[in-house]
Every structure is written in C-alpha cells, then in structure tokens.
Chains A and B, each alone.
Chain A
Amino acid sequence: MSATPVLAVKNLKKHFPVRRGVFSRLSAKVYAVDGISFTIKAGETLGLVGESGCGKSTAGKLILKLIEPTAGEIHLDGARIDQLPRADMRPFRQDLQVVFQDPYSSLNPRMRAKDIVAEPMENFARGSKAEIEAQVATLFEKVGLRRDQMIRFPHEFSGGQRQRLVIARALALRPKLIVCDEAVSALDVSVQAQVINLLADLQRDFGVAYLFIAHDLAVVEHISHRVAVMYLGRIVELADKRSLFANPQHPYSEALLSAVPVPDPTAKPKRIILQGDVPSPIRPPPGCHFHTRCPYAEARCRTETPLMREVAPGHFAACHLRPGRAVES
C-alpha cells in the first residue's frame, strides 16, 4: 500500500534517568525503548509482543505522548507529533486513543458510565448535550452494553463489561488508531475471546487501526495482521503474522514461539529453553542485546549491533546470522 501510514515510528528512544544521592546525580539510564521503527497502515493491527519489562508498554505511552520521547520521530497520519507541546498535541488526540490493561483502574470510580464515554466528545465539542447522549447510546450498543446501564457506576459492571466501556470511550471520537496496551490480559479466557472479537468487529465497522501490545502470543496471532517482537527495548523481528509464526527468523522469536502451548495432546512440544535471565535495561549488553542468551551467538554478536534486514519480502529480522537486504532503520 502506498498510502500514508496511520502511524510511522522512526528510531524512537526513551531513556529514563536514574538519579541517586543528595544532589540527584545522574548515575545511570534505563534504556526502556532503544530505537524502534515500524509503521501501521489504516485499518491494520500490529501486534507488539515481548516479555515483561522489554519496553512495549513504554512504547505505547510514547506514541500516546503520555511521556516524552528521548529521541526519534512519531508521525500520525503524516504529521509529526513527537515534538509537539501538550497544547498543540490536543487536536491530534482525536485520532489516537487508548485501551489500558486494567479495566478497574482505567475508569474513574466516581463517574457514571455515560459521562465516562461522553467525556472525549465533550472535550472536542462534538455536538450538543442531547446529540452526545444519543451518540453514547449508539456506542453502548456497538460494544454490547445495554442503554439502561448508562447511568451506572463502574463498580456495578463486571471486568469484561468494564473493558467494553473502556473500548466505547476509546471509540467515541472515531479515532484512526487505538493503542491497546495489554487490553485483554486482565480478563479471564472466555471474556478475552469476547473482547477480542469485539475489537475485530469494530475494526471491520470503523476501519480503525490497532497497535496491540500483549505478551500472550495466541491472542496476538488471532487479532494481528503483522507482528513485531521486542526484546530489551529493541524490535528484533517484524513480519506478517503467518510468516512470523510459521517461520521465525530471529532466535529470540523462535524461542518465544516454541513456548506457545499447542492444543493437541499428541503433539510433542519442542521447547527451546533459554538460559539465564533478561539482562537489566540499565546496562544492556553491547552488540546484539540477545547475545547473552542466544544459543547461536558468535563473536560479532557481542560487539556489533545487528541492523534490521529484510530476510524475505515483508519479513524483517535483526540478526547477524540471517543475511538479507539491509534496510534503513
């Protein structure tokens, strides 16, 4: 597709300073996000996977401009937003919404459901009070809640219903992109399926794109079109869903995918067990971040940072052992 992507992220970085001592000396930095690049097309879902602490949630917050990036560029629908001050950022927020992990803390306990969903529309004066209320009612139907539940408080809803409410709020402004940060991780499995199907339905109806941040590979495989695998602040592999799940190129993706349970009792699991722990993002290893745990690591992996290469059409991996056409990062 040649059209402008909804979201283009270029070499995005976030380093958190670690301050210690009486005079707040800058003693170290946490390399939470260390140069990631990707694009999301209109109506597409990009899954972003990785284990806890790899920086995937930080990446989501950076894109939402809830925290300021250290370096890099964020383009929303062709417009650069990473350097915008808070006030100038405001109009762009209409195209960019969020669904957080915990449906309990992402709803203000002292507001009624309809006021929660109406708030984004009130912020941008989308119609009169009555018009907004009518839109709220339509949204309630769209996400599978009843109109008579509009006057309730969040504590009167179940976890799944709360997440529907959060989705209704995110949809209220008809955004082009919704960042789903572990949107279903806090729900139990049957409710997860319902919410994921709801997200898929809404994508079909409204053409909204998702950045779907998750650690559950089965969920990501179900909902995503393309998947990016993150390890210690960097994207190590980015490919079409089928291509990635069938033929992972990076050793880390390979190990990660081997851990997905297969719903077949006769299948012999071939688990790749990684040795050691994830190194601290305060002092990430030089070269390829993964070399300390990689079963295939060579000498150059310890010194030279691998670049993203196109190993197959549309399939990118950052590994010295996978020769391919180098792409600009």
Chain B
Amino acid sequence: MAVTADSIVKPAAASRSPTWTRIKDALRRHPTAILGGIVLLLLIGMAIFAPYLGTVDPQAISPVRRLRKPSETYWFGTDMLGRDVYSRVVYGARVSLTVGLLVALFATLIGLAIGLVTGFVRWLDGIVMRVMDGLMSIPGVLLAIALMALTKASLENVILAITVTEVPRVVRLIRSLVLTLREQPYVEAAIASGTRTPRILVRHILPNTIAPLLVQATYICASAMLTEAILSFLGAGTPPNIPSWGNIMAEGRSLFQIANYLIFFPGICLSLAVLSVNMLGDGLRDALDPRLARNM
C-alpha cells in the first residue's frame, strides 16, 4: 500500500503515556503545585526524621520548666506540664501525615472497588447509592465522632472513622466516571471484539479513572488531616498520650491567653500541611482534567 499523506508524521519520538506527560507539563506550568509538593516533602521528612531534629522525648514531663516562652533552649516554648512544644509538634507531624495518607489510600481503594461494582452492576446501583447518600447527609465530623464513640480511642480507629466518612465521595466520583466510560465507543468496540467484562474493567475502565482518583485522593488527604485535628481538639480523636497537632491545641486552649504559642505553632503546621496538599491537588487537577469539579 502506498504511503499516503496522513501517514507522514514527525519523526518517531520517545512515546510516553499521556498521563505522565501531562502531569509533568502541568507541574511545570503550576509553580504553586511544586511549592506544595516541596512543603509536603519537608513535612514528611520532618515526620520520618523526628528523633534526629534536635528533639527530646515529647512525653517527658518537667513541672519546674512549665510554660516557658519560646527561647533558644525551647524553640516553641513548653506547655503546662513542662513538655517541649517543638518536640511535640515535630512528632505530631507523624500522626497528622499518617492519618492523612492512610485515609486517602484506604478511602480511594474502598471507594474505587465499590464504585466500579455499582457502575457496572445496575441492580446494585440504587441500593449502594442510597446508602452513600445517607452517609453523606451526616456532616463528616459528626459521623466520625459517632463512630469514635462506638469504639475506643486509638490511632487505628481514628483512621477507620475518617475513612468511613470519606468513602462516599470516592464512590460517587468513580460511579459517575464508570457510567460515562462504559458508553465510550472504545468500550463498545472492546465488547464487539469479544473482550470479557473483567478485562474491560481492568484494561479500559480502571486506567481512565486513575487521574481523577489521584486528584480526589489529595483532597481527601487534606480533609482527613483537618478532621483528625478537629476530633483530637474535641477530645474524640487520637488518645491524649500521643502528641498530635489537634491534641496539642486542645491542651493549649485553656491557656491561650497567657501562652498563645501553644496553639500558634501546631496551628501553623496544620495549615501548612493542608495548604500544601491542596496546592498539589489543584495542580494535579488542572494537569489531568480541567473539567473535573473540585468537590465532586
């Protein structure tokens, strides 16, 4: 067959998957996303290397040195039990980031599984979506408090409770994606060429949900860190013996007027963490799908 005009193209360049090319391009175009990524990496580094960052035991009580103002010795001051606030804030990053990342991971995985099944099995759709609507009609923090009241305070239960509140958002996103994707001509062409349903799900549906899922995961991560702090602040979250940003702020609340640094430093860290994750998410969203609504 003769070579025709439309088969002549630019010389073969290295062929890249569209997702990764687009992520790289967009990060280049969105400096805030890069900034968010850097801050997030610093916070993760802080959490991992907490013992080597000039910290002391965050639980060590020293009544003699209580409520010291921030100084060279106590960078962020000490609390009413004489514990070093700097050490507590640095160790607190471990709790917040663990909760944020694990909730994002579990919520997306569970939501993905439920969403794929409801999108493809029509009779399940009505039932599952009504349950999800029910879950979403209760404010997330309230639902998490209720779930925490049923169990005992531990980090695992906090993660579990927040995951339950975040799953419906993922299910709704994935279900709507599956409903759109299954009508795509390439899915119909795959059916017409004899591809079996499990393979259609894995090969044609799943890869096309990854990008929006990734974006949603960043928002869930940010929202989970906030919810964890709120739960701890209300005394319904991480047990008080574990230093988390929410706990530190809760303990500092009564002394806010004489020792505002007790709330200031963990507050700054929490804001930074949430802000950086959101900036990263915004960059990813613009990179992957400009049409994707932020709070789907």
Q: Does B122 contact A (CB under 8 A)?
A: no
> How many positions in chain B have a CB within 8 Å of any CB in the partner chain?
31
Say yes or no: A93 contacts B194, CB within 8 Å.
yes
Say yes or no: A119 contacts B190, CB within 8 Å.
yes
Say yes or no: B1 contacts A146, CB within 8 Å.
no
Q: How many A-B residue pairs have CB under 8 A?
A: 108
Chain A's nearest CB lies how many Å from the CB of B218? 21
Q: Does B204 contact A (CB under 8 A)?
A: yes
Q: Does A96 contact B (CB under 8 A)?
A: yes
A194 in complex: contacting residue of B5, B184, B195, CB < 8 Å: B5
Say which one of A15-23, A46-54, A148-156, A215-223 lies at the interface with B: A148-156
**Which residues of chain A come closer than 8 Å to B208, judged between CB atoms?**
108-110
Say yes or no: B192 contacts A96, CB within 8 Å.
yes
B185 in complex: contacting residue of A105, A157, A164, A191, CB < 8 Å: A105
Say yes or no: A155 contacts B7, CB within 8 Å.
no
Q: Does B268 contact A (CB under 8 A)?
A: no
- Which residue of A has the minimal Cβ distance to B199? A123
Per the 8 Å Cβ criterion, residues 122-180 of A in contact with B are 123-124, 141-146, 148-149, 151-153, 155-161, 164, 166, 169-170, 172-173
Q: Does B193 contact A (CB under 8 A)?
A: yes
Say yes or no: A149 contacts B207, CB within 8 Å.
no
**Which residues of chain B come closer than 8 Å to A100, judged between CB atoms?**
185, 188-189
Say yes or no: A144 contacts B3, CB within 8 Å.
yes
Say yes or no: B1 contacts A144, CB within 8 Å.
yes
Say yes or no: A90 contacts B194, CB within 8 Å.
yes
Per the 8 Å Cβ criterion, residues 145-196 of B in contact with A are 184-186, 188-196
Chain A's nearest CB lies how many Å from the CB of B56? 50
Tell me whether A108 and B9 are in contact in the complex, defined as CB-CB below 8 angstroms, given that A98-B188, A119-B195, A169-B189 are known contacts: no
Say yes or no: B193 contacts A93, CB within 8 Å.
yes
- Which residue of A has the minimal Cβ distance to B197? A86
Q: How far is the CA of A107 from the CA of B194 in the complex (A)?
A: 16
Say yes or no: A141 contacts B189, CB within 8 Å.
no
- Which residue of A has the minimal Cβ distance to B19? A110
**Which residues of chain A come closer than 8 Å to B16, judged between CB atoms?**
153
Say yes or no: B15 contacts A156, CB within 8 Å.
yes
Say yes or no: A110 contacts B18, CB within 8 Å.
yes
**Which residues of chain A come closer than 8 Å to B5, judged between CB atoms?**
190, 194
> How many positions in chain A have a CB within 8 Å of any CB in the partner chain?
53
Q: Does A225 contact B (CB under 8 A)?
A: no
Q: Does A201 contact B (CB under 8 A)?
A: yes
Q: How far is the CA of A145 from the CA of B12 in the complex (A)?
A: 13
Q: Does A254 contact B (CB under 8 A)?
A: no
Q: Does B203 contact A (CB under 8 A)?
A: yes
- Which residue of B has the minimal Cβ distance to A96? B192
- Which residue of B has the minimal Cβ distance to A99? B189
Chain A's nearest CB lies how many Å from the CB of B204? 5
Say yes or no: A155 contacts B18, CB within 8 Å.
yes
Say yes or no: A93 contacts B2, CB within 8 Å.
no
Q: How far is the CA of A145 from the CA of B186 in the complex (A)?
A: 20
A144 in complex: contacting residue of B4, B9, B12, B204, CB < 8 Å: B4
Say yes or no: A120 contacts B188, CB within 8 Å.
no
4 nearest A-B pairs in the assembled complex, by CB-CB distance: A160-B6, A120-B193, A106-B185, A93-B194
Given A93-B193, A109-B18, A111-B203, 13 other A-B contacts at CB below 8 A? A90-B196, A94-B194, A108-B208, A110-B19, A112-B15, A119-B193, A123-B194, A142-B1, A152-B12, A157-B9, A161-B7, A164-B7, A194-B6
